[in-house]
Chains A and B, each alone.
Chain A
Amino acid sequence: MNKTLKTASSDNEHEGASELAPLFKPPREKFLSLRGTVNSTQSIFLGFIGVISLFAFWEISHHLTPEHQQKFLPSVTQVTSKLYYLFTEKGYIVDVAKSVYRIYLSFFVACLVAIPLGVLMGSFIKMRALFNPTVGGLRYLPAASFVPLLLVYLGPTDSAKMALLFLGCVFFLVALILDNIEAVPRALIESAQTMGASRFHIVFRVTFRSAAPQILDSMRNMIAVSWTYLVIAEIVAATDGIGAVMMRGARFLHVDVIMGGILTIGVLGVLTDVSFRIAAHFLFPHTRARR
């Protein structure tokens, strides 16, 4: 038996490294191969095509519109030049800054409430029993239904607008964070217990830490919802902010201003999303390998 093994290996040596078996070329991956692969160049390229097509669709629609109605569907260039005009002549940047400030501050306060509450409810079943029926129910109230109430309480102030943005996301945020905390494997908590970790240690250093990447993801998704409430919030006695500019545009049938506002919100939303992703990349290096 030993002999046959030897001859087999020496046969291989005779063939030499240069005469390898011919390579079988696997078929090229189809464009729509199931769960296929995509490299970063391709995905940037494809994403770019998506954006271009949207603008192309918009531009073509503009040109297909009868001339006397074209002002209701301005072209891409008309909107962008209007935006340029707003920024340079009308101090639009102040409105944008105001909106960003409102979103971020209200969202920050929502997180200050939702994260501790969600962690508390997810860690202690009795806390969950105490809060969940209330928080769960409040989720079903449309935030817009608070507008009249907020106007009575706070008047046409900044606080009223931020309160609306806060109410629009806080209950959902609690529910999402509760889910994130509850998804932490029981074995992780139990193994910390067998190490002698205190409850305090487990809640903050194990459960919260373990759910942190998912919590940041929930925040990323909820701040998107905040952006969607922005215009509703700023309609309330519109004075400043992107929403107010858009409402003023509506009053004078300046569709280009309205569409410019939509475009601004879209761009800011994407920037917010990207900054959350970048934060996750640096805060949670252990999740990089899996992505």
Chain B
Amino acid sequence: MSLLKKNYHSDRQKALKAGQKEGKFPLAVNRVRKEYLNGERIAVDDMSLNIREHEVTAMIGPSGCGKTTILRLMAGLEFPTRGNVESFGLPIDGPAPERGLVFQAYTSFPWLTVIENVQHGVAIQGYSKVEQRERAEHYLELVHLTDFANAYPDELSGGMKQRVAIARALAQDPNILLLDEPFGALDAQVTWEMEEMVVEICEDTDKTIVLVTHDIQEAIYLADRIIFFTRQPGRIKEDISMEFKKGRRFKKKEDLLTEPGYVEMEKHLYTLMREEIQGPLS
């Protein structure tokens, strides 16, 4: 049975690589509708969206507009009611390490130390013991947690816990990193630090990232492209390219504030948000 499964995995990996070479999108959402409570609630309706490689795509919108839903569909933790979600041309048939997910809730394993947590994710991928350790150490360094390698998650602050989660997701070497409001529970100053860390990670790894957030500044700072969602049912209201950044990443968040076009972008997003918050619930 395990042999069959191995074959399935390597075949899938090959197909994904082929799709990637052909220039297929890392994630393609095709006319997806997702219903809950036997169709009583429509979380997402008729959504089509292509995520481009090496880009940071932020999904933003008012609370309850289906951001988490679409991310869970991308992760393979749930399946659409209608339509389909593909990764490099392959239908998503369940969660897989090539799509790493960081949850808003803390998901470090409390019985493992920080480094063991990161190693655990690597171990599942079948790396040797030495490689596991090396990868874990590398990614802990990337998230500035080397000094806390042997602490238990319960001894860490919220920001540190999320850094463990990010290191763990990166260490499993995903094509795509999915982040669901990873800093939603953190205070403003820690969030700021974490955002700058994500920029560093983008520079170092050039990952394809899908970031769900409700924070306008965060979206502008981190994203190359912002998808704005309407509220219930979730649809795409606007697909906005962050052209004013001219493809640059800003190590310091405050440097962005004086960039020509920033204020207009922020104002525009606030306007969209106000429309959605004040608009009638359909």
Residues in B123-168 with C-beta less than 8 Å from chain A = 124-125, 152-155, 165, 168
Given contacts A209-B111, A210-B111, are A286 and B103 in contact (CB under 8 A)? no
How distant is the Cα of A225 from the Cα of B154 in the complex, in angstroms?
32
B95 near A290 (CB under 8 angstroms)?
Answer: no
Chain B: minimal CB distance from A144 (Å): 39
B44 in the interface, Cβ–Cβ < 8 Å?
no
| Residues of chain B lying within 8 A (CB to CB) of residue A289 | 152, 154-155
How many residues belonging to A are interface residues under a CB distance threshold of 8 Å? 23
Residue in B101, B111, B153, B155 whose CB lies within 8 Å of A191? B101
Residue of B nearest to A196 (CB): B97
Tell me whether chain A's interface is mostly helix, strand or loop, or mixed: helix
How distant is the Cα of A196 from the Cα of B77 in the complex, in angstroms?
12
A197 in the interface, Cβ–Cβ < 8 Å?
yes
Residues in A177-214 with C-beta less than 8 Å from chain B = 185, 187-188, 190-198, 201, 206, 209-210, 212
Residue in A185, A195, A206 whose CB lies within 8 Å of B172? A195
| Residues of chain A lying within 8 A (CB to CB) of residue B165 | 191
Given contacts A286-B154, A289-B152, A290-B154, are A195 and B107 in contact (CB under 8 A)? no
How many residues belonging to B are interface residues under a CB distance threshold of 8 Å? 30
How distant is the Cα of A41 from the Cα of B199 in the complex, in angstroms?
51
A284 in the interface, Cβ–Cβ < 8 Å?
yes
A196 near B110 (CB under 8 angstroms)?
Answer: no
How distant is the Cα of A206 from the Cα of B109 in the complex, in angstroms?
8
B197 in the interface, Cβ–Cβ < 8 Å?
no
Chain A: minimal CB distance from B211 (Å): 16
Residue in B100, B105, B110, B168 whose CB lies within 8 Å of A286? B110
B75 in the interface, Cβ–Cβ < 8 Å?
yes
How distant is the Cα of A167 from the Cα of B121 in the complex, in angstroms?
41
Residue in A185, A195, A209 whose CB lies within 8 Å of B121? A195
Chain B: minimal CB distance from A188 (Å): 6
| Residues of chain A lying within 8 A (CB to CB) of residue B124 | 192, 195-197, 201
| Residues of chain A lying within 8 A (CB to CB) of residue B121 | 195
| Residues of chain B lying within 8 A (CB to CB) of residue A197 | 124
A194 near B111 (CB under 8 angstroms)?
Answer: no
| Residues of chain A lying within 8 A (CB to CB) of residue B153 | 286
How distant is the Cα of A95 from the Cα of B152 in the complex, in angstroms?
45
B96 in the interface, Cβ–Cβ < 8 Å?
yes
Contact count A vs B, C-beta below 8 Å? 67
Residue of A nearest to B153 (CB): A286
How distant is the Cα of A194 from the Cα of B72 in the complex, in angstroms?
10
Query: What does the 1/0 interface line of A69-100 toward B look like (CB < 8 Å)?
Result: 00000000000000000000000000000000
Residue of A nearest to B96 (CB): A196
Query: What does the 1/0 interface line of B74-111 toward A look like (CB < 8 Å)?
Result: 01110000000000000000111101110101010111
Residue of B nearest to A285 (CB): B152
How distant is the Cα of A196 from the Cα of B171 in the complex, in angstroms?
12
B109 near A194 (CB under 8 angstroms)?
Answer: no
Residue in A196, A201, A286 whose CB lies within 8 Å of B111? A286
B125 near A286 (CB under 8 angstroms)?
Answer: no
Query: What does the 1/0 interface line of B153-190 toward A look like (CB < 8 Å)?
Result: 11100000000010011001000000000000000000
Query: What does the 1/0 interface line of B220-233 toward A look like (CB < 8 Å)?
Result: 00000000000000
B75 near A210 (CB under 8 angstroms)?
Answer: no
Chain A: minimal CB distance from B151 (Å): 10
Given contacts A187-B103, A209-B111, are A194 and B154 in contact (CB under 8 A)? no
| Residues of chain B lying within 8 A (CB to CB) of residue A195 | 97, 100, 120-121, 124-125, 168, 172
Chain A: minimal CB distance from B34 (Å): 17
Residue of B nearest to A206 (CB): B109
A190 near B103 (CB under 8 angstroms)?
Answer: yes
Given contacts A193-B95, A194-B75, A196-B124, are A188 and B154 in contact (CB under 8 A)? no
Given contacts A286-B111, A286-B152, A286-B154, are A194 and B99 in contact (CB under 8 A)? yes
B97 near A210 (CB under 8 angstroms)?
Answer: no
A196 near B172 (CB under 8 angstroms)?
Answer: yes
- B residues touching A (Cβ–Cβ < 8 Å)? 5, 75-77, 94-97, 99-101, 103, 105, 107, 109-112, 120-121, 124-125, 152-155, 165, 168-169, 172
9 pairs of A and B residues whose beta carbons are closest in the complex? A196-B97, A191-B107, A193-B95, A194-B101, A286-B152, A187-B105, A194-B95, A195-B121, A187-B107
24 contacts between A and B (CB under 8 A): A185-B107, A187-B105, A188-B109, A190-B107, A191-B101, A191-B103, A191-B107, A191-B165, A192-B124, A193-B77, A194-B75, A194-B99, A194-B100, A194-B101, A195-B168, A196-B95, A209-B111, A210-B110, A212-B111, A285-B152, A286-B112, A286-B152, A286-B153, A289-B154
Apart from A187-B107, A190-B103, A196-B124: 14 A-B pairs, beta carbons within 8 A: A185-B105, A185-B107, A188-B109, A190-B107, A193-B77, A193-B95, A194-B100, A194-B101, A196-B172, A212-B111, A286-B110, A287-B110, A289-B152, A290-B154
